[in-house]
């Protein structure tokens, strides 16, 4: 089984990916391959950031690899926070509570609260060919926090037709429909056809 490197050290993401791909593929993290660099994410699109991280790994380790990037795109905010989702409140650090507060503030008085989570995965195969996959879940931003599960913006993001926020759904139900799960499913299909 040829290893594929997932350009992350986020243990939550790793176990999620291994649960989906682990039976057929050997998924290695950055620390598994001895990479402790803080890989730059300076592009101005999700695609650009995912490619930047995957290219870094391919150029330094010459192995098949993939990286992901996720953004919350809010219609009334013209697609913001988008590529700035992790650092929406403060440009230099991730503060989940402050990010959510800012989002609720920006949407005060706005009738259109529709939004979507979008994940992009960039995969580079052993020949250096690049492939992009995305996963989208449409929904809306609630007017206040609801639920305690999950992370990030989960308490204020309600996927369409569920009547609940991600934070009220529980991890298993969320992972059935989430943006990340949908992007990973496309990667999985691709790998099954091409490996
Ligand atoms: P990343 O690219 O996966 O690190 O995601 C960037 C940011 O998007 C995170 O810091 C979170 O704030 C937010 N985010 C990504 N996925 C989710 C999710 O499933 N629920 C809530 N917030 C998320």
pLDDT digits (tens, 9 = 90+) for 138-158: 999 999 999 999 899 999 999
Query: Whole-model pTM?
Result: 0.95
Residue 172: the pLDDT is: 86
Q: What is d(CA 115, CA 49) in angstroms, rounded to the nearest whole number?
A: 21
Exposure string for 32-63, b = 16+ CB within 10 A, e = fewer = ebebeeebebeeeebbbbbbbbbbbbbeebeb
Ligand 1, atom 3, residue with closest C-alpha: 70
What confidence tier does 20 reach under pLDDT thresholds 50, 70, 90?
A: confident
pLDDT higher than threshold 80 for residue 78 = yes
| H-assigned helices in 62-195 | 96-106, 166-169, 171-177, 179-194
pLDDT higher than threshold 80 for residue 195 = no
By mean pLDDT, which of 15-19, 39-43, 44-48, 153-157 is the weakest?
A: 15-19
Residue identified by tokens 């690049």 is 130
Q: What is d(CA 126, CA 145) in angstroms, rounded to the nearest whole number?
A: 44
Residues with CB under 6 A from ligand 1: 69-70, 85-86, 94, 150-154, 166, 178
pLDDT higher than threshold 90 for residue 178 = yes
Atom of ligand 1 nearest to the CA of 174: 19
Mutate to test the pocket of ligand 1, among 70, 159, 177 (most ligand atoms within 8 A of CB): 70
The mean pLDDT of 165-177, rounded to a whole number, is 92
Centroid of ligand 1 to alpha carbon of 127 (angstroms): 30
| Known catalytic membership, residue 189 | no
pLDDT higher than threshold 90 for residue 15 = no
């Amino acid at each position: 089984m040829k290893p594929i490197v997932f350009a992350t050290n986020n243990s939550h993401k790793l176990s999620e990916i291994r649960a989906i791909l682990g039976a057929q593929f050997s998924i290695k993290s950055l620390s598994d391959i001895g990479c402790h660099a803080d890989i730059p994410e300076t592009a101005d699109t999700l695609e650009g950031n995912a490619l930047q991280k995957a290219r870094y790994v391919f150029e330094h380790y010459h192995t098949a690899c993939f990286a992901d990037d996720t953004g919350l795109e809010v219609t009334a905010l013209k697609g913001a926070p988008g590529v700035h989702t992790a650092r929406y409140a403060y440009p230099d650090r991730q503060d989940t509570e402050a990010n959510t507060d800012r989002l609720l503030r920006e949407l005060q008085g706005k009738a259109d609260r529709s939004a979507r989570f979008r994940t992009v995965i960039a995969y580079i195969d052993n020949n250096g060919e690049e492939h992009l996959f995305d996963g989208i879940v449409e929904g809306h931003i609630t007017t206040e926090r609801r639920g305690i599960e999950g992370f990030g913006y989960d308490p204020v993001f309600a996927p369409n037709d569920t009547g609940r926020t991600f934070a009220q759904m529980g991890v298993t139900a969320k992972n059935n429909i989430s943006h990340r799960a949908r992007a990973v499913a496309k990667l999985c299909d691709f790998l099954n056809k091409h490996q």
